[in-house]
Amino acid sequence: MKILSLFSGCGGLDQGFLKAGFNIVWANDFDKYAVETYKANFGNNIVLQDINKIDFDELPDFDMLIGGFPCQPFSMMGEEKGFEDTRGTLFFKIAEIIKYKIEKNEKPKVIVLENVRSLKTHDNGKTFKTIKRILEKDLRYKVYSDILNSADYGTPQTRNRTYIVCFDNKNIEFEFPKKQKLNLTLQDLLEKNVDNKYFLSEKIIPTILSNGTGGYNAKSEIDLKIARPLCATMAKMHRACQDNYVTQENRIRRLTPRECARLQGFSDDFVIPVSDTQAYKQFGNAVTVNVSYAVANQIKDSLNKLGEWNND
């Protein structure tokens, strides 16, 4: 099935669907470094452009739309402004694209959206209620949603995200993928012979390991078996109650970009052509490949049962 991918980033959501046999015909992101990484791994079918400036007439034919639309407006890490934030309105841009295709009698069969866990509870549930109403009432899709944790799908990272899966066919039956036993720990994914630049200086260790100051207080732990959620600002090195640190050679260090890639389900042949700062941002923002792949397979199974799957 032909997929249009929006807010593609470095390609975590896309890779899961590609692995399941789907075909990404067009992708988009406005971050030039994310696009550089995407091109290095998936080819040149990604367009570097602000989604608000895209000409809908230039979009290719597609059967399915996927996208991890910007989460900052709904994130606990942000100010939770929701639709008051201009980034929050980008969901409406997705709706505009779908409405445009409907008017051309080219309604996508499936929509898959991903966002932070707090999307469901933001503004006492009003934000999610609005999104669901638009998808169900205005665009007339059958909507399924759930919160999936990356640690339940084979990678040792606690990362709870909201997944929304929508079908044009109201007769379809869909279930989110069942949880899997986790057989890996963070330590299993660590690199050997790590560059000295990733190790902490004696001067910064007391700050990194402190439990917080002022009104913010949280227990700082290192060497966790299951990593804390990777975040886009890892390059800044937060305290250990926010970021992940490990002990190696009796010294404390941060995670390397490759280890972050592994925690997001990317294989070691995934090319990282950008600086560490940009790599941390990309993997902190990425959709976990393991979860994307599990969801993609469930969608494929549901379509197969109704004879709507094709591998064009």
What residue segments make up the domains of the chain, in order of their start? 2-179+287-305, 186-282
Distances (CA, A) of 243 to 73, 208, 230: 21, 9, 7
Do the domains 186-282 and 2-179+287-305 match in fold?
no
Q: β-strand 110-116 against 64-67: which pairing, if any?
A: parallel
CA–CA separation, 36 vs 221, rounded Å?
Answer: 34
pLDDT tens column, 247-260 = 999 999 999 999 99
pLDDT per residue as tens digits for the range 17-53: 999 999 999 999 999 999 999 999 999 999 999 999 9
Token duo for residue 49: 């452009």
| Chain centre distance of CA 100 | 25
Report the amino acid identity of residue 77. Answer: M
Question: Looking at the annotation, which residues are catalytic?
Answer: 71
Angstrom distances, CA of residue 67 to CA of 146, 196, 200, 286: 16, 37, 36, 11
What's the CA gap between 251 and 49, in Å, rounded?
43
* CATH number for the segment(s) 2-179+287-305: 3.40.50.150
45 Cβ partners below 8 Å, 6+ apart?
Answer: 24, 25, 26, 27
CA 160 to chain centre: 10
Quick check: 11 and 63 in contact, CB under 8 A? Answer: no
CATH number of 186-282: 3.90.120.10
Write out pLDDT tens, residues 154-206: 999 999 999 999 999 999 999 999 999 999 999 999 999 999 999 999 999 99
Strand segments, DSSP code E, in 41-178 are 46-48, 64-67, 110-116, 142-149, 160-167
Full-model pTM: 0.92
Tell me which range, 51-55, 204-208, 291-295, is most confidently predicted by mean pLDDT: 291-295
Q: Measure the CA–CA gap between 252 and 228, rounded to whole angstroms.
A: 16
Give the whole-angstrom CA distance, residue 257 versus residue 30.
22
pLDDT band at 228 (very low <50, low <70, confident <90, very high): very high
pLDDT of residue 199: 97
